[in-house]
């Protein structure tokens, strides 16, 4: 590796006629260029540059070396520059994501990502459990911010959003609107079972700094947020969902928010991965496109 660095420094001096100009082209100091060339000469046992106080010229050995390795080294540097320009984004990117992140994060990012990086293949595994990405052989996962292990790097993908209690007009007409979190116990609710633990999740609500944790019951239990959304739309009961998922139904009046003043805000979705993968080009590319699609500025991963 030192020989390669010395070759690059030597060729820069030969092409630009001096150490100062060569150093400027390489982005290093003139003394660093001089030392790299001197080490190369020592390794080869020949003098490549004839130095005086006023000028630098090639020796016969130096001219031969320029003719032999100059074109090849320039081609190698050009190839490296080309790979760097593409960001080295190639190969297989394996992601584990919860179903609720598909429409919010993954699907909007894919068109731009695929178009920009044709040598990249994306594999998306949908799993509502909190997956160990290292043990599962994944490059990264997507989860809500508060559900990420502390030894992972977490990079923001979306802004914060709310979890809301929603119901169809037909349900609200038949059962009325709950006036308080405690009133939910008298309503038919669609319950989520956590895939990781098997526990039935309580509904977390808050207002003016006070938290309410409500155990609800109803006609349907599922670990599918999509099924819960459809069941709420069909009037089976109230559902507790993240607001962007229900946005289209809320906009057209198929669902309505109840207890809105109690809706809690969560940090949003994050990409999580091991610290050793922090500078992986394919992860950085996905992060940039996902952030752009969600309206966030691009940039490198930043721990929460």
pLDDT, tens digit, for every residue of 47-64?
999 887 777 888 999 888
Return the pLDDT at 280. 87
Joined together, the tokens standing for residue 189 give 């609710």
The model's pTM: 0.63
Return the pLDDT at 87. 52
State the Cα–Cα distance between residues 25 and 29, nearest whole angstrom: 10
Q: Which residues pair with 156 in a beta bridge?
A: 270
State the Cα–Cα distance between residues 194 and 206, nearest whole angstrom: 21
Overall average pLDDT of the 267-277 stretch? 88
pLDDT digits over 199-239, tens only?
A: 999 999 999 999 999 999 999 999 998 999 999 999 999 99
Q: Compute, in degrees rounded to 10, the torsion defined by CA atoms 27, 30, 32, 35.
A: 150
H or E element at residue 161: strand 161-167
Q: Which residues contact 282 (CB under 8 A, 6 or more apart)?
A: 88, 89, 90, 91, 93, 117, 120, 139
pLDDT-based confidence at residue 82 (cuts at 50, 70, 90)? low
pLDDT-based confidence at residue 299 (cuts at 50, 70, 90)? very low
Rg (alpha carbons) of the chain, rounded to whole number? 30
């Amino acid at each position: 590796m030192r020989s390669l660095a010395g070759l690059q420094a030597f060729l820069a001096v030969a092409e630009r006629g001096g150490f100062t100009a060569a150093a400027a082209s390489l982005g290093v100091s003139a003394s660093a260029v001089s030392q790299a060339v001197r080490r190369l000469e020592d390794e080869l046992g020949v003098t490549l540059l004839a130095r005086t106080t006023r000028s630098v010229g090639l020796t016969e050995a130096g001219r031969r070396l320029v003719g032999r390795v100059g074109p090849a080294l320039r081609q190698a540097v050009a190839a490296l520059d080309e790979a760097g320009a593409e960001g080295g984004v190639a190969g297989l990117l394996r992601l584990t994501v919860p179903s609720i992140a598909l429409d919010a994060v993954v699907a909007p990012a894919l068109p731009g990502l695929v178009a920009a990086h044709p040598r990249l293949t994306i594999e998306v595994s949908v799993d509502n459990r909190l997956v160990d990405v290292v043990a599962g052989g994944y490059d990264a996962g997507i989860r809500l911010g508060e559900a990420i292990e502390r030894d992972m790097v977490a990079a923001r993908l979306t802004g914060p959003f709310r979890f809301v209690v929603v119901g169809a007009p037909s349900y609200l007409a038949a059962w009325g609107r709950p006036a308080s979190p405690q009133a939910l116990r008298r309503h038919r609710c669609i319950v989520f079972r956590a895939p990781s633990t098997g526990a039935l999740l309580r509904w977390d609500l808050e207002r003016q700094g006070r938290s309410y944790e409500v155990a609800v019951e109803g006609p349907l239990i599922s670990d599918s947020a999509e099924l819960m959304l459809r069941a709420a739309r069909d009037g089976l009961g109230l559902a507790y969902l993240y607001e962007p998922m229900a946005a289209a139904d809320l906009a057209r009046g198929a669902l309505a928010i109840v207890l809105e003043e109690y809706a809690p805000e969560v940090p949003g979705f994050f990409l999580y991965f091991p610290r050793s993968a922090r500078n992986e080009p394919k992860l950085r590319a996905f992060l940039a496109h996902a952030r752009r699609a969600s309206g966030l500025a691009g940039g490198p991963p930043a721990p929460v």
